[in-house]
Amino acid sequence: MAHETCCEGSFWVYILVIVGLVLFAGLMSGLTLGLMSLGRRDLEVLLKSGVDKDRKHAAKILPVVKNQHLLLCTLLVCNALAMEALPIFLDALISAWGAILISVTLILMFGEVIPQSVCSRYGLAIGATMAPVVRALVFICFPITYPISKLLDCLLGKDQVALFRRAELKTLVTMHGNEAGIGGELTHDETTIIAGALELTEKKAADAMTPLSEVFAVKINEPLSKETLARILEKGHSRIPVYIGQPKYVIGVILVKNLLTIEPSDQTFVRDVTIRKVPRISESMPLYDILNEFQKGLSHIAVVVSSKKGRREESNQNHGSSVTRRLK
């Protein structure tokens, strides 16, 4: 086959075509990596909660990647056409072996490595910029790519739901917490709160209660003397459990604020103060259900009852109220 010489006008036309094919193949390769790595869920998150620039980019890209199989087929077909046409034009300038070597080198460096490296880092911005071009290519290649994409939809499914499971999400939050000191978006306190909320579904009342032996309580017939009031104030609790006979027989709680007007010289007893009832819950009750009960405002403390041994143990008021505040 006769080769074009550099002095002829058609030589530069071939050069321009070769350069155009390499750039086009590189663009298709980079967009394949950049756009296909942006899932629909990721773009929806950016569209709703990203910064202004990312929202604009996501709004342009989302309609393009809505049908991922059609987009994938379009980009691959265009990339394949460019790479297959490149040796044909090179063969008109140099020998067959030279055309193969140069085409492989050009495609590898300028059609694969560099475009994919750039698009993997700036895929959102490049994808938004090239969205109109991609739409045009989808329209042009539609007769070829649509049947293939429909076949892929039937075989693999149309929607790809990439949602994190609870354990995976907890691990992701923990990783953010580990990077808090080196410029992470979340602080240690924020990741601790999020991780605690994710653990609530796995924990029961027995995991959060305070053993009865460690709970400060008063007897119903105990006089509210100066010493008793001093002990109550020293503990710093807003609610104090009240029991009859033995500490395990808790009948309710008294509010510390109701004791502010009591004078020790009046010889007032605990039974003379308003005693509020407390709910009794099973030790196997999930913490989320307990939280829902606390949010009703009827009580911020509950008695945990052992279902196996019939023992009743008191959950500390600090545990109940802190869980409620933490999740609000």
Q: Mind listing the pLDDT tens digit for each residue in 200-238?
A: 777 888 888 888 888 889 999 888 888 888 888 888 888
243 lies in a domain?
yes
| 2 inside domain | no
- Say yes or no: 48 and 148 in one domain: yes
> Does residue 113 fall inside a structural domain?
yes
179 and 246 assigned to the same domain: no
Q: How far apart are CA 237 and CA 258, in angstroms?
A: 13
- For residue 203, the Cα-to-chain-centroid distance in whole angstroms is 21
pLDDT digits (tens, 9 = 90+) for 52-94: 888 898 899 988 888 889 999 999 999 989 888 888 887 777 7
Q: pLDDT-derived band of residue 321, with 50, 70 and 90 as boundaries?
A: very low
Total of domains in the chain: 3
Residues 13 and 132 in one domain: yes
Query: Which pair of structure tokens corresponds to residue 300?
Result: 């911020």
Q: Does the pTM of the predicted model rise above 0.75?
A: no
* Average pLDDT estimate for 159-187: 68
Tell me if 161 is assigned to some domain. Answer: no
Decide if 4 is inside a domain: no
Q: Is residue 131 part of a domain?
A: yes
Same-domain check for residues 182 and 245: no
Q: Is 287 within a domain?
A: yes
Same domain, 147 and 25: yes
Segments forming the whole domain that contains residue 291:
205-327
